[in-house]
Amino acid sequence: MQPSCARSLDASGLALLLFLALFASRGGAQQPAPPGAKPAGPTTIEALSIEGVSEFEVTARGRVELKRGDVGIYAETLHYNRAFGRVVADGGVRVERDGDRVFGPRLSYNLNDDTGFFDEPSFVLRRALTARGTAERLEFLGANHFRLTSGRFTTCEAGHDDWQFEARELDLNYDTDEGRLRDGRLRFFDTTLLALPYGSFPLERQRKTGLLAPYYSQNSRRGLEIGVPFYWNIAPEQDLLLTPVYMSKRGEQLKSHYRYLDRSSTGDLRWDVLPNDRVLGVQRSAVSAQHEQRFTPGWFGRVDYNRVSDDAYFTDLASQVRQITAGNLLRELFTQYDGASGDTNFTLQGRVQGFQTLQDPLAPVVSPYRRVPQVTAAAFRQGVAGRLDVSVPAEYVRFTHDSLVEGTRVSFNPSVALPFQSPGYFVVPKIGVHHADYQLTRAAPGQPDRQGVSVPWASVDAGLVFERGMHWLGKPATQTLEPRLYFVHAPYRAQDSVPLFDTALAEFNYTQLFSENRFVGGDRFGDAQHVTLAATSRLLGAQGEEVLRATIGQRFYLKSERVGLTPTAPLRTSGGSDLLAAVGARVSDAWSVDSSLQYNTEQSRTERFSASVRYTPEIARLISASYRFNRDVLRQIDVAAQWPLAPGWYGVGRYNYSLLERRLLEGIAGVEYNAGCWSFRAVFQHLRAAVQTTSTVFMFQLEFNGFGGIQSGDVTDFLKRHVPGFASTSPGSGNLLPQSQRSRPPFEQVF
């Protein structure tokens, strides 16, 4: 409102106004404030007329404005008792306090302790989530404490009361971040969705003990599924989520999830139990426990334990691809210590590791070896004798298995490098040796119980870096050319009688072109005499960001290989490896592409190929497509999208199809609607859970901004996992919305 000097005042009113403002600013003689009252600040009153005695009580009429600190009161008539800070106002009253606004016909308020009441008010509370509503009576119980009688509130904009919560009594305490209610109900388009005779809920998105929104889903393997989560906020660093679940096909299940965190440790414990599966007639359960402990700054330990009651548990009772396709469940106790002694850095590790292998009857697999235990140590020092980099790793490990040969392995892999480096080139000659000793039990016929192997090796890694300035799409850029040569030599050592505990042929990729050993694991070291030639060219933007990258490389063999993974494994006899090439580019802020190729030059055919393209002009606008090809193994197309269909409406989906098997691996189709103060999602998923097993599920989510929602699990989290690049469009995630769709601040209108 405008200052009162722009209005007409009678002489006595003007004099009293000036005297009152002067007296208030000077402090004057004041009576003692009631206990607990906040310090009184300067109080000013402006009105068309003011009468009374300023030291005690005044009455103001006509466009009254009272201000003290962050409190402003506007009315047609106002009575103010200065000694007690009491205000009584009538006629179009409005209170503004720290961003909150309440307006109605009559107010009684105490400026000293922010208490009072408002008859038949409407209100706007500006907190992390702006809410508005009405009540028969609103009580001020402090600066951040309100009580509504026969009240209702919503976070929707005025004129769009799509949802609102009504309660006979509603207590909102922003000091404790807690709300309490009696006889409440949630209404959505005049339909009651939820009735609560009594309850409490968190404010400002804080954690609080209590029931969470129930969830519902429809699944082909579980039927109708309904869960009612109960959240227990045990302490700021501990919480527990208990979810009783009913499945029409399987029966009753209890899910539990306990988390804890402190300065030196963190943990996550899950336990799900289905006492009686109605389909199988047995008890089924799943346990997952992770704990990490930091003993000292350089020493930590970790426990990771996972178990399910049967091989088909995830197929029947889980809908996440990561869980359904889990073949080996890890069970591990691990510790590591990192330290230094002078200029030498060292690492010590200890591990006990096993697995639960889940078998698909149509695609059985051999379970991995258990490590009981594995102890590794490594020391590394740079600048030995001013030039050398020395690394000395060592390992002791005992492997056990229910049906295969068992044994212990002691290995050493020391190496010495002599690097020469500058901004334009590098040359790194390196020598080393792989040595392993074995002591076996339950050995195969003809396999020695004790044996060892030593393989010396040498390599040279060299490269150049050229740069030149240029322009890319009209902008300055830098192009690099980085040729690289890598040579490695390792003599042949017979290893056919050495067991395979943890070793496999490494995947042939660009990184493997520059590795001394073509195997991963400690049981094989391949004979080698070959040269790798490669080149990389990058396009760097003005800020050094990579705009485009192209690489090409091929290995040329000087001798035929003789060490195979097994005695019957095929050996390479060609003079050169497959050609590897890759191109990736961010063409613009919206477009990015990536592709890779493995080409057999001898047979003139493609062995592996992948290509992907992504278009993301804005957040929540996404189209991506990829194709993967691996000869005789894999041919898949994968398309994902999230795109606005109409104002507020979004479509989301994914189509992952195997051309080799001619079947859909995973299909997702869904729709989202963002109404500003509420949002809705409905998603259908079809998933290949095993070789001849599929699962279908329907999920939905109805969220009310500032008051939770009703959902069938966390659909937003599900879409983030399964649709690459998916962005939430929930009202509560307004910071993720594209700028063109960010609405103006709510309730801008002046009451």
> Residue 10 above 80 pLDDT?
no
With respect to residue 129, please indicate whether it lies within any of the assigned structural domains.
yes
pLDDT value of position 454 = 96
User: What percentage of the chain reaches a pLDDT higher than 70?
Assistant: 88
Number of domains in the chain: 3
Q: 652 falls in which pLDDT band (50, 70, 90)?
A: very high
Residue 518 CA to residue 528 CA, distance in Å, equals 9
Task: Please state the rounded mean pLDDT for residues 172-178.
Answer: 83
> Residue 599 above 60 pLDDT?
yes
pLDDT value of position 604 = 93
Does residue 107 contact residue 91 with C-beta atoms inside 8 Å? no
With respect to residue 559, please indicate whether it lies within any of the assigned structural domains.
yes
* Mean model confidence pLDDT for the chain: 85
> Residue 271 above 90 pLDDT?
yes
Q: What is the pLDDT of residues 44-74, one digit of tens each?
A: 999 999 898 777 899 999 999 999 988 999 9
Amino acid at 462: A
Q: 147 falls in which pLDDT band (50, 70, 90)?
A: very high
> Residue 732 above 90 pLDDT?
no
Q: Is 52 in the same domain as 121?
A: yes
Q: What is the pLDDT of residues 367-420, one digit of tens each?
A: 999 999 999 999 999 999 889 999 999 999 999 999 999 999 999 999 999 999
pLDDT value of position 711 = 60
pLDDT value of position 200 = 75
With respect to residue 516, please indicate whether it lies within any of the assigned structural domains.
yes
Which of 172, 207, 242 is the C-terminal boundary of a domain?
207
pLDDT value of position 34 = 45
Instruction: Please indicate whether residue 531 or residue 189 has the higher confidence score (pLDDT).
Output: 531
Q: Is 142 in the same domain as 183?
A: yes
Q: 475 falls in which pLDDT band (50, 70, 90)?
A: confident
Q: 539 falls in which pLDDT band (50, 70, 90)?
A: very high
Q: 722 falls in which pLDDT band (50, 70, 90)?
A: confident
**DSSP letter (8 states) at residue 34:** P
Residue 182 CA to residue 173 CA, distance in Å, equals 15
Count of other CB atoms within 10 angstroms of residue 693: 15
Lowest mean pLDDT among 200-209, 352-361, 487-496, 588-597: 200-209
> Residue 466 above 80 pLDDT?
yes
Instruction: Please indicate whether residue 56 or residue 283 has the higher confidence score (pLDDT).
Output: 283
Task: Please state the rounded mean pLDDT for residues 606-611.
Answer: 96
Q: Is 578 in the same domain as 623?
A: no
Amino acid at 180: R
- Report which of 153, 71, 62, 155 is spatially closest to residue 112, judged by C-alpha positions: 71
Supply φ then ψ for residue 220, to 5 degrees: -70, -25
Q: Is 650 in the same domain as 731?
A: yes
pLDDT value of position 691 = 59
pLDDT value of position 500 = 94
Q: What is the pLDDT of residues 327-363, one digit of tens each?
A: 789 999 999 999 999 899 999 999 999 999 988 777 7
Supply φ then ψ for residue 251, to 5 degrees: 115, -155
Q: Is 535 in the same domain as 648?
A: no
> Residue 6 above 70 pLDDT?
no
Q: What is the pLDDT of residues 97-115, one digit of tens each?
A: 888 899 999 999 999 888 9
Domain that includes residue 508, residue range: 436-585
Which of 207, 235, 254 is the C-terminal boundary of a domain?
207
Which of 568, 585, 602 is the C-terminal boundary of a domain?
585
Which residues neighbour 160 within 8 Å (Cβ) at sequence distance 6 or greater? 675, 676, 677
Q: Is 570 in the same domain as 627?
A: no
pLDDT value of position 28 = 32
Q: Which helix (H) or strand (E) holds 218?
A: strand 215-219
pLDDT value of position 181 = 86
Q: What is the pLDDT of residues 660-704, one digit of tens each?
A: 888 898 899 999 988 888 888 888 888 876 556 677 888 888 888
Residue 25 CA to residue 195 CA, distance in Å, equals 52
Q: Is 110 in the same domain as 30?
A: yes
Residue 575 CA to residue 557 CA, distance in Å, equals 5
Count of other CB atoms within 10 angstroms of residue 530: 20
Q: What is the pLDDT of residues 294-324, one digit of tens each?
A: 999 999 999 999 999 998 888 888 744 344 4
Does residue 175 contact residue 145 with C-beta atoms inside 8 Å? yes
Instruction: Please indicate whether residue 689 or residue 447 has the higher confidence score (pLDDT).
Output: 447
Please compute Rg for the chain using Cα positions: 36
Q: Is 576 in the same domain as 630?
A: no
pLDDT value of position 224 = 86
Residue 417 CA to residue 425 CA, distance in Å, equals 16
**HSE-up of residue 504 (Cα within 13 Å, Cβ side):** 5
> Residue 748 above 90 pLDDT?
no
pLDDT value of position 186 = 85
With respect to residue 389, please indicate whether it lies within any of the assigned structural domains.
no
With respect to residue 487, please indicate whether it lies within any of the assigned structural domains.
yes
User: What percentage of the chain reaches a pLDDT higher than 90?
Assistant: 57
> Residue 191 above 80 pLDDT?
yes
pLDDT value of position 596 = 96
- Report which of 298, 207, 325 is spatially closest to residue 691, judged by C-alpha positions: 325
Partnered with residue 669 across adjacent β-strands are 653, 684
Q: Is 54 in the same domain as 109?
A: yes
Q: 437 falls in which pLDDT band (50, 70, 90)?
A: very high
**DSSP letter (8 states) at residue 239:** E
> Residue 741 above 80 pLDDT?
no
Q: Is 554 in the same domain as 649?
A: no
With respect to residue 514, please indicate whether it lies within any of the assigned structural domains.
yes
Q: Is 665 in the same domain as 742?
A: yes
> Residue 38 above 70 pLDDT?
no
> Residue 19 above 70 pLDDT?
no
Q: Is 633 in the same domain as 564?
A: no
With respect to residue 153, please indicate whether it lies within any of the assigned structural domains.
yes
pLDDT value of position 298 = 94
pTM here?
A: 0.76
Q: 750 falls in which pLDDT band (50, 70, 90)?
A: very low
Which residues neighbour 54 within 8 Å (Cβ) at sequence distance 6 or greater? 16, 19, 20, 23, 82
With respect to residue 384, please indicate whether it lies within any of the assigned structural domains.
no
pLDDT value of position 425 = 95
Q: CA quadruple 604, 578, 365, 328: dihedral positive or negative?
A: negative
Residue 9 CA to residue 50 CA, distance in Å, equals 9
CA angle 289, 294, 299 (to 5 degrees): 120
Q: 4 falls in which pLDDT band (50, 70, 90)?
A: very low
> Residue 233 above 50 pLDDT?
yes
pLDDT value of position 692 = 62
